[in-house]
Amino acid sequence: MQLLVFIFAYPFLWLISILPHKLFYLFSDIIFLAVYYLIGYRKKVVFDNLTLAFPDKTDEEKKQIRKEFYKHMCDMFLETIRTMSIKEESLKKQYLLPNIDLLLEYEKERSVLVLFAHYGNWEWSIIVNRFVKSKGYAVYQKIGNVYFDRLIKKIRATWNTTPISQKETVITMMRNFKSGVKGIYGIVSDQSPQVERAQYWTEFMGIKVPVYNSPEILARKFDHSVVFAKVTKLSRGHYCTTFIPIAKEGSLTTENEITETFLRLSEEEIRENPQYYLWTHKRWKHRDKAPKTFQ
């Protein structure tokens, strides 16, 4: 069944990926109308998340943010498909990296962790690997359909990116550290961990929740540099990512310093233009479950 779904969907996805710019985003508008008005995909989840994160905003303000978010979400979904056929020259023009020199400086001495929030477009950050000398890794969650999973790996491989699962991350970093191989590791790090596995709780958008602190643990253990990737949406299909230093030498940071800095930078990014954050995730679902040691 997975193969049949892939065989049916692949040609359609390819055709979408090669549409001219205006037709491409016209198609995104059509998808938005269906998702927002007909299907109503997770509209209540989005509104509830906005209410938690922005308690001072009126219902009308939150509804407007929600509507703009869905428009962006459809753009982002199609832009991920666009990656199947986009050319290097085009992506360099559409995904700007004004201070890529920071990564070039850091990678001379050690590996670098590039931390993203689910904001803007993180998929197109693969263009980073056309500038750096170190091997690029993208930490990701495997797709249920094995054929689409292979497709994602193939697409990223064309940009010198090696996708690694969360389970493979520690092994890969340890192997590279022991052999002296430097890498650039891209990690989207604002997800909600399972309560029973949460090792750290803190406030995110003013709400106490469990957070992933594994990037910090790895950065301190292997002495990686850490930067935050701040993504700005300039217009439809055009982004600018600025790298903000968090730690040049991870081993010299104090406990929770990297995690807290990442979260505070993520909050600033979200508050500037909240419509570009991925509000469909139930990010604050464990907010009332903090153990006494973290209350």
| Dist. CA 254–CA 91, nearest whole Å | 37
276 band by pLDDT with thresholds 50, 70 and 90: very high
Say whether pLDDT at 159 is over 90: no
| Arithmetic mean of pLDDT, 104-116 | 97
Type of residue at 219:
A
Type of residue at 185:
Y
Say whether pLDDT at 216 is over 70: yes
List, for residues 5-40, the tens digit of each pLDDT value. Answer: 888 888 999 999 999 999 999 999 999 999 999 999
Give me the pLDDT at residue 264, please: 98
295 band by pLDDT with thresholds 50, 70 and 90: low
In a domain, 280, yes or no: yes
In a domain, 295, yes or no: no
Residue ranges in the chain assigned as alpha helix (H) = 2-17, 21-33, 43-53, 59-82, 88-94, 101-106, 146-157, 166-179, 214-222, 257-272
Average pLDDT, the chain: 93
Q: Are 115 and 187 in contact, with CB atoms under 8 Å apart?
A: yes
158 band by pLDDT with thresholds 50, 70 and 90: confident
In a domain, 219, yes or no: yes
| Arithmetic mean of pLDDT, 75-100 | 96
In a domain, 292, yes or no: no
In a domain, 294, yes or no: no
In a domain, 256, yes or no: yes
Query: What total number of domains does the chain contain?
Result: 1
| Arithmetic mean of pLDDT, 88-113 | 97
pTM (two decimals): 0.94
In a domain, 293, yes or no: no
Q: Are 127 and 229 in contact, with CB atoms under 8 Å apart?
A: no
Q: Which long-range contacts (CB under 8 A, 24 or more apart) does 167-174 make?
A: 169/137, 169/139, 169/214, 169/218, 170/218, 172/137, 173/111, 173/218, 173/222, 173/224, 174/222
Least confident of 65-69, 80-84, 166-170, 265-269: 166-170
Say whether pLDDT at 294 is over 70: no
- What is the 8-class DSSP label of residue 55? T
What is 141-167 written as a DSSP string? Answer: PPPSSHHHHHHHHHHHHTTTEEEEEHH
Domain that holds residue 83: 2-287
In a domain, 110, yes or no: yes
